[in-house]
Amino acid sequence: MTDKRSDLKKIIMDTKTLPTLPGVIQKLNTLSDNDKSSVQEMAKIVSSDQVLSARILRLANSPSYGFYRVSTISNAMILLGVNVVKSLALSSSIFAIMEKDSVGLWEHSLGVGVAANLIARKLGLPECEEIATAGLLHDIGKVIIPLKCSEAEKTIQKLIYERQIFTMEAEREIIDTDHAEVGGWLSKSWFLPDKLSEPIAFHHDVAKSENHRIKTAVVHIADVLIKASGFGNSGDCFVPSIQKIAWDALKLNEQLLAELVDEVEDKLVEVKNFSLEMMSE
Amino acid sequence: MQKIPLMLAKAGMTIARDVFRGDSPIGIPICGKGTLLTDSLIARFDNMDVQSIYVEGHPVWEEGERSFDDILHELDGRFIKTLQEPLNAMLYDIYKSYLIKSMGGDSDRQAE
């Protein structure tokens, strides 16, 4: 491992907090102040934000709690209790400095979460909620890279724009690693279960996923679908190749894909409404 | 007919399909099709957790005046790197026909 890469890995392993969108925090605070709001309502807001979800899962999986690997938001919220989630949301507001251009990445993540859920349900796969969470968190590496190496991030953006290449190619060239690997490191150091960390780390290289290949394949296809629809912004605007191994693992065919496109696009109208609501707060 | 996010609904649009509560999409409709939208009606839908509605015509155009050609052009741009691969080419064709179907073709836009 080269110096640049191991330095970055060390920094990421030490990362305890990530900034999230102010709109999400505000909405959660309003809900927690209202006696009439339910855990379900809070869970819905939490699972719309990749950063807050990651933080709650980190807490639920921390060795001090001693729970056995928690992989869904709703389980984590039930185990931690509403009060802990409340205080986590409040403490997040201190770090709520995510910029406006992060909205695109947030929309992309939310879109992939929704698409992953639709694919999993359509194929009748077990653990749909875990797959949706993995989809939501798949680009968490893209949240952390600009934060930990803001100079390198500027060069990466410049490279994507000038040479019209994939985000990943630019990342490899500048920081000698990529957002998938970085996301994998983060999820390992936060003790997230394999069923989440594998799809995060290998959503661009499904063949490397050994224990949770189906879940990784769903997240990969969901990512491709959202990139194809042009919803949100994940750095570059190019649709990645559909990996044959993912296609075969899910036993997809043309008709299924066409139905999925219809369903995903239909659902994205609602996701758009949600994101418009968030931004107007 | 177009499915739009409730946040983009405006008074004066006409509902094209019955509206259901957000938490019980197969329950009793809360508003019938053909109703003219008003601001208070939109606020009520919002309270009932309605996320999206179907309206007559195609009143909402994303990001200003993107024509159908522009939308197809953007689709081409997104697929520029991977269109030579058979699976991606398949997805491209599916998306293209989806867009043509959902926009009602170019003629719909001209007519409005």
Domain boundary among A95, A118, A139: A95
Mean pLDDT of A81-101: 61
Domain boundary among A95, A129, A155: A95
Distance CA A70, CA A79 (A): 9
- The residue in chain B having the minimum alpha-carbon distance to the alpha carbon of residue A269 is B5
Q: Are residues A88 and A108 in the same domain?
A: no
Distance CA A18, CA A97 (A): 10
Which is more confident, B106 or A215?
Answer: A215
Alpha-carbon gap: B28 to the closest alpha carbon of chain A (Å): 20
Q: Are residues A87 and A136 in the same domain?
A: no
**Are B91 and A241 a contacting pair at CB < 8 A?**
no
Establish if A12 belongs to a structural domain: no
- A271, A110 contact by CB (below 8 A): yes
Establish if A200 belongs to a structural domain: yes
Average pLDDT of chain A to the nearest whole number: 85
Domain boundary among A95, A121, A141: A95
Establish if A14 belongs to a structural domain: no
CATH of the domain at A264: 1.10.3210.10
Which is more confident, A99 or A118?
Answer: A118
Cβ-nearest to A228 among B6, B78, B81:
B78
What is the pairing mode between strands B52-55 and B2-5? Answer: antiparallel
Q: pLDDT confidence of B112, banded at 50, 70, 90? A: very low
Q: Are residues A130 and A146 in the same domain?
A: yes
Distance CA B71, CA B88 (A): 18
Which is more confident, B44 or A12?
Answer: B44
Q: What percent of chain A has pLDDT over 90?
A: 44
Note the CATH number of domain B2-55: 3.90.105.10
Sign of torsion, CA A269 A273 A275 A279?
Answer: positive
Number of domains making up chain A: 2
Distance CA A94, CA A80 (A): 21
- Kindly list the domain boundaries of chain B, sorted by start residue: 2-55, 68-111
Alpha-carbon gap: B24 to the closest alpha carbon of chain A (Å): 15
The Cβ of residue B109 has, within 10 Å, a number of other Cβ atoms equal to 16
Q: Are residues A177 and A86 in the same domain?
A: no
Secondary structure letter of residue B7 according to DSSP: G
pLDDT of residue B84: 94
Q: Are residues A179 and A214 in the same domain?
A: yes
Mean pLDDT of A257-277: 88
pLDDT of residue A100: 54
Q: Which residues of A touch B94 (CB under 8 A)?
A: 254, 257-258, 261
The enclosing H or E element of B2 equals strand B2-5
CA A248 → CA A221, A240, A251, B105, distances in Å? 11, 17, 5, 34
- B75, B99 contact by CB (below 8 A): yes
Q: Are residues A244 and A108 in the same domain?
A: yes
Q: Are residues A86 and A120 in the same domain?
A: no
Establish if A13 belongs to a structural domain: no
Q: Are residues A127 and A249 in the same domain?
A: yes
Cβ-nearest to B90 among A229, A237, A254:
A254
Establish if A5 belongs to a structural domain: no
Full domain range(s) for residue A52: 20-95
Q: Are residues A181 and A70 in the same domain?
A: no
Write a three-state SS string for B95-111: HHHHHHHHHCHHHHHHH
**Are B87 and A240 a contacting pair at CB < 8 A?**
no
Establish if A88 belongs to a structural domain: yes
Whether the CB of A255 is below 8 Å from some CB of chain B: the reply is no
Judged against a pLDDT cut of 80, whether residue B104 lies above it is answered with no
Determine the residue among A37, A239, A248, A260 to mutate to test chain B binding: the one whose Cβ has the most chain B Cβ atoms within 10 Å: A239
pLDDT of residue B106: 44
Q: Are residues A35 and A87 in the same domain?
A: yes
Establish if A233 belongs to a structural domain: yes
Secondary structure letter of residue A206 according to DSSP: G
Sign of torsion, CA A85 A201 A197 B87?
Answer: positive
Establish if A1 belongs to a structural domain: no
Determine the residue among A31, A236, A269, A272 to mutate to test chain B binding: the one whose Cβ has the most chain B Cβ atoms within 10 Å: A269
The enclosing H or E element of A9 equals helix A3-13
pLDDT of residue A163: 93
- A172, A111 contact by CB (below 8 A): no
Q: Mean pLDDT lowest for which of A4-18, A160-174, A221-235? A: A4-18
Q: Which residues of B touch A225 (CB under 8 A)?
A: 91
In the block, residue with structure tokens 């875990």: A130
